[in-house]
Structure 1
């Protein structure tokens, strides 16, 4: 016969075995504690029956145990990672070839040919790419320059620095002369100041667009730039000026380019502040599309009778819907999402525009009234945040003309981001649902539609020069290819994808880098293609690592590091620039807010120079092209059937003008018939 203590122990064990579910962690508020907590409480150890804790100490004990378990899991993951790291093969790490110490912290950078433009406090400086020698310093501002947009036009350059107040200025650079043209949005009254958010130049430098925001309003200003007049005026000024009488800027020119020296020496660049160049011409002011409202028309017959032009119907731009229909739709929406709409709503941010200057092509030539010269943009493509439509505006117009899009490309979902290739031949529209539409503007047809994996959305798009894997090496064809494109897409989950399209075969998507699940610090935050290395891109991670990735093989070739690595307190936001003409890139030190030491403050004012040709591992991956015979074998001549299809497509485009005239005739008949029916209804 069992003792009373054994019987009590058996009952306790029975209650433990029949207890279902895990113990819930109680709320911190005493009013939320369940009333039956004492009844459901079960001791895991029968010997501790007399040592049970009352509330609220039992709840505190549970919270401490939960915190301990989570901390222990994190410790185990870190120990497992340290155990795996020695067995991993780390990529070869290369250090920079040159460190240029600057007197001020660089906030932004740009490369154009042999010059490096560095923005900072008070303005920007121009450095020689090879010698790290400062050629000029334009420091006429009271605030720092936050962004620099530089367009390379060969011997000419267009420079648009934007300062902390949002003021953008336009400068023109020719040979050894720098000319100030105009402050686009500078006003005397600071309260009326409109900040510049984006700057965009056309590929030929004939047009510029500035996105301005402020006082709850936003719009896009488009200017026509008189490049031919600037060239003549600048050359005349440079020939008339005497170099000996021109006051030059204080520069840095020492034997050791890493140590600045304040010696007055002759400058490489003159600032022509007294020379006045022709001002740019304002041709358009574009505002975001207005929200759709109800129409005042009472019947479809009234619509057909009073609307003079049929253009825009069915394009997603012109709607004739009654107010009552919009009210019913709003009521259904509010009733469905009532519980989500009851909370406080933050103020919706202003809409932001993305601008692309499109060259004459099969799609854009129809919109332009006059024939544009080769290489000169003729159409402006714009899409706004939270908008489904991609608008097309002709550029051969004046400010007096009515600003209306002459073409609209509607999409199934709002356009999140877009990108135009450097050759202005391919356009990618990425929607918020993760679907990408690839357009071949030269042929006037889409290359296909591709969707990112589920749960992944497009963050940025980066075009790559088309390359092929030939004899185990990434090579560039020696002549331009048509209807073939490759781009790298960075997802919102930090995954990296390669999207390729080729003619009528349809696009393909390949995942290069997977989403980091256990270690978020390894997530990619920025991507930059390397034009000098076929099929290579630079990837920047939040933990400060920088790697060179071969997208053809999905392998890391090597890594680059700074000479004095230091831990980051916040996710890394790299400031870098990759040259499109030279095999090199520049990288700035980490942000001073991340590290508060004296040594680190000097480290922030440094620019690090990396040259791909100086590293042994990259000898076999340098710039190389295929021979003529290999290119012809890889890209066979166009078939006769495709030529016939292309000729037929050209004929169809030529008939568009004839079809417009016929549409107007039918539209006039429809309007007359609608008026006749209205009169008959009135008689009744």
Structure 2
């Protein structure tokens, strides 16, 4: 007998509709399906009405609906992106001032003084920076020029092109005359040919270093450049015996029968091959640090009895660990990670180096007899791939001297990127863990250590000429400020950061541009500071756009773009150069859209676009007021931080005393209000 409670539960149950008869699996054919009475069929979910369609129409219907829904989502996303794009404030886009058409694709560019050097097929060409006219060329190679450097030596220019075979040559350009100094690494045997990976010339052009790579080795060759002898030899040339009849002058400005007007020669650059200049003096050869190995010393007493110097103590370079200890540690490591070590190992790439010429300072200890004139580099700083140490090598040495460094700066993590300021006073070391160390070389102390945001790692460092914000405008001080620096850090996630340091204050970091999430075409590919515009930097984006950013705001001021007939290859690796003395920059233009890819690339007209900041109305006011005088800078109302320490303390105390009176008045107002409120509450209380 069921309980009353159970009967109530049964009455509350919902009716269940079932089909009559046993369940059967329908046959694949529609004609064999069972004919159920329509009155006995109950549809549980109205949305399942379409599921009653026979196969394969049911599947087709679902696929069509899915395709429609996804298409509609894509349409909505694109429409939202277009609406957001229309609502964004677009900067003013300026076209180039001059377009120089070339008969071959430029591989690289460099600017020095008023000349532009463009690496092309079979050599390089020389152009005038102002009118973009071709004034000369050197075309003696069988391969193209892959990269080119140009260094200002005063009234002369040192040119260093590197061809596709890796051979680097030094040229001397003086008063429209071109002289070949030497091919640094050219050999007769092609199997022994080395490749020049990187080069660096010191400030003033007294020294040069070349990173060379062989089949299984890499090293650094350092030379002293006799620039004073070069100047005397070109002003008073001594002719060779074969050149007594006549100085052979070769005009190397090869022009095709069809030459654009802006390529017309306005001067003749002569190549004087019969005048031999003094060769650079070889100083030293630097190899990567040797891997850590065991020592043969048997006791610490023997170590300190035979040690000659302690330059590497504490850096891992000068250790005294026995070979048996290393073998024991290696056995433990192999046993712990055997399952990971059993697989195939790829051959490690050759180590590469980053090196900088450093000026004399108290942070670099040099012997008294080795000190040179001020303003001339005395030390070469270098760090190798995967190394924790920054090595310092004296430039005042001969080949007989040892190749050991005079100093070692150890870091907590391997050094990934480094850069030196153009003035030579500041150095930044960026480690692989995202930590930056800022050095003031002129004063001899670190400006501080700062870490990039989590997940950001340094890709490149760019120094900004120190500027101030005066009356809402960026200006340069008339006299350079000491122990104050600003630099841009482009991270591997394409975010851009501004790092500032001043004296003993801790460095600060500020995000200028985050990695774009919605607009991936705005990913920053390259960064270039503009020395002519205080606090301005050019950003070269993924889509080929070139934008000018004011880092003090930060905001985009304007943009630059070539004509629409030129398209950009994605991913874009821009070929550009910014003048350090003139308010302009050059940008390479790619092939026009009308050119078919099957055509010969040598017959395609390529272009170099010349952008002058003076020609654009928005930037004229900025160029007119880029410098603040020393009297205005020392005006304490404009820049209170320029006050001496005693006066700054006095002003601070006076401001505090004035604020005490204001605070007392506010205190009295609050007290009176509190008294009135308390009297009001007393009146409301019942007696």
* TM-score (normalizing by structure 2): 0.80
Contact 2:209 2:222 in 1 (8 A): yes
Partner residue in 2 for 1:2? 16
Contact 1:387 1:414 in 2 (8 A): yes
Does the C-alpha gap of structure 1 residues 267 and 350 become closer, same or farther in structure 2, counting only changes over 3 Å?
A: same
Partner residue in 2 for 1:221? 221
Aligned residue runs from structure 1 range 115-514, under 5 A: 115-237=115-237, 246-250=249-253, 258=261, 260=263, 267-366=267-366, 369-514=369-514
SS at match of 1:400: coil
Equivalent position to 2:642, from 612, 636, 645: 636
State the distance in 2 between where 1:282 and 1:510 align: 44
Partner residue in 1 for 2:517? 517
State the distance in 2 between where 1:466 and 1:201 align: 23
How much has 1:256 moved relative to structure 2?
A: 9.8
How much has 1:325 moved relative to structure 2?
A: 3.1
How much has 1:328 moved relative to structure 2?
A: 4.0
Contact 2:250 2:272 in 1 (8 A): no
How much has 1:524 moved relative to structure 2?
A: 0.2
Partner residue in 2 for 1:530? 530
Contact 1:450 1:508 in 2 (8 A): yes
- List per-residue Cα deviations over 1:554-595 (Å, max 9, x = no partner): 100001111125554521000000011110000001269997
State the distance in 1 between where 2:335 and 2:592 align: 50
Partner residue in 1 for 2:583? 583
State the distance in 2 between where 1:323 and 1:68 align: 71
Does the C-alpha gap of structure 1 residues 162 and 245 become closer, same or farther in structure 2, counting only changes over 3 Å?
A: closer
The structure with the larger Rg is 2
State the distance in 1 between where 2:61 and 2:226 align: 76
Partner residue in 1 for 2:28? none
Partner residue in 2 for 1:678? none
Partner residue in 2 for 1:543? 543
Aligned residue runs from structure 1 range 36-115, under 5 A: 48=51, 76-115=76-115
SS at match of 2:79: helix
State the distance in 1 between where 2:491 and 2:349 align: 23
Greater mean deviation of Cα atoms: 390-399 or 333-342:
333-342
How much has 1:134 moved relative to structure 2?
A: 0.9
Equivalent position to 2:629, from 627, 630, 641: 627
State the distance in 2 between where 1:118 and 1:454 align: 40
Greater mean deviation of Cα atoms: 409-418 or 287-296:
287-296
- List per-residue Cα deviations over 1:596-643 (Å, max 9, x = no partner): 45799877610001000111111222251112222223363665999x
Structure 2 unaligned blocks of 5 or more: 1-14, 24-46, 649-687
State the distance in 1 between where 2:428 and 2:573 align: 25
Partner residue in 2 for 1:618? 619
State the distance in 1 between where 2:157 and 2:406 align: 31
Contact 1:368 1:396 in 2 (8 A): no
State the distance in 1 between where 2:605 and 2:335 align: 54
How much has 1:294 moved relative to structure 2?
A: 1.8
State the distance in 2 between where 1:535 and 1:457 align: 23
- List per-residue Cα deviations over 1:213-236 (Å, max 9, x = no partner): 121110000011111111111110
Greater mean deviation of Cα atoms: 220-229 or 586-595:
586-595
State the distance in 2 between where 1:540 and 1:232 align: 43
Contact 1:179 1:275 in 2 (8 A): yes
State the distance in 1 between where 2:115 and 2:615 align: 20
Does the C-alpha gap of structure 1 residues 150 and 260 become closer, same or farther in structure 2, counting only changes over 3 Å?
A: closer
- List per-residue Cα deviations over 1:513-557 (Å, max 9, x = no partner): 011123433210100000111100000011111100000001000
* TM-score (normalizing by structure 1): 0.81
- List per-residue Cα deviations over 1:159-208 (Å, max 9, x = no partner): 11000000000111122221101100001111111000001101111111
Contact 1:421 1:463 in 2 (8 A): yes
Contact 1:367 1:406 in 2 (8 A): no
Contact 2:467 2:474 in 1 (8 A): yes
Contact 1:131 1:257 in 2 (8 A): no
Partner residue in 2 for 1:39? none
Does the C-alpha gap of structure 1 residues 603 and 143 become closer, same or farther in structure 2, counting only changes over 3 Å?
A: closer
Partner residue in 1 for 2:609? 608
Does the C-alpha gap of structure 1 residues 347 and 591 become closer, same or farther in structure 2, counting only changes over 3 Å?
A: farther
How much has 1:260 moved relative to structure 2?
A: 4.3
Contact 2:104 2:601 in 1 (8 A): no
Does the C-alpha gap of structure 1 residues 408 and 640 become closer, same or farther in structure 2, counting only changes over 3 Å?
A: farther
Does the C-alpha gap of structure 1 residues 340 and 628 become closer, same or farther in structure 2, counting only changes over 3 Å?
A: same
How much has 1:129 moved relative to structure 2?
A: 0.8
Does the C-alpha gap of structure 1 residues 502 and 70 become closer, same or farther in structure 2, counting only changes over 3 Å?
A: farther
How much has 1:320 moved relative to structure 2?
A: 1.4
State the distance in 2 between where 1:62 and 1:209 align: 69
Contact 1:488 1:497 in 2 (8 A): yes
How much has 1:297 moved relative to structure 2?
A: 2.6
Does the C-alpha gap of structure 1 residues 534 and 318 become closer, same or farther in structure 2, counting only changes over 3 Å?
A: same
Partner residue in 1 for 2:656? none
Contact 1:590 1:604 in 2 (8 A): no
- List per-residue Cα deviations over 1:487-520 (Å, max 9, x = no partner): 1110100000111111011111110001112343
SS at match of 2:628: coil
State the distance in 1 between where 2:172 and 2:256 align: 24
How much has 1:301 moved relative to structure 2?
A: 3.2
Contact 2:393 2:404 in 1 (8 A): yes
State the distance in 2 between where 1:465 and 1:600 align: 40
How much has 1:75 moved relative to structure 2?
A: 5.1
What is the aligned residue count? 601
Contact 1:134 1:253 in 2 (8 A): no
Contact 1:133 1:252 in 2 (8 A): no
Structure 1 unaligned blocks of 5 or more: 10-43, 643-684
State the distance in 2 between where 1:113 and 1:8 align: 97
Root-mean-square deviation over aligned CA pairs:
3.6
- List per-residue Cα deviations over 1:47-78 (Å, max 9, x = no partner): 7599799xxxx9x9999999998887655433
Does the C-alpha gap of structure 1 residues 408 and 63 become closer, same or farther in structure 2, counting only changes over 3 Å?
A: farther
How much has 1:375 moved relative to structure 2?
A: 1.5
- List per-residue Cα deviations over 1:454-505 (Å, max 9, x = no partner): 0000000111111001001000001111000111110100000111111011
Contact 2:249 2:273 in 1 (8 A): no
Does the C-alpha gap of structure 1 residues 279 and 600 become closer, same or farther in structure 2, counting only changes over 3 Å?
A: closer
State the distance in 2 between where 1:307 and 1:444 align: 28
State the distance in 1 between where 2:257 and 2:478 align: 41
Does the C-alpha gap of structure 1 residues 611 and 257 become closer, same or farther in structure 2, counting only changes over 3 Å?
A: farther
Contact 1:358 1:364 in 2 (8 A): no
How much has 1:316 moved relative to structure 2?
A: 2.8
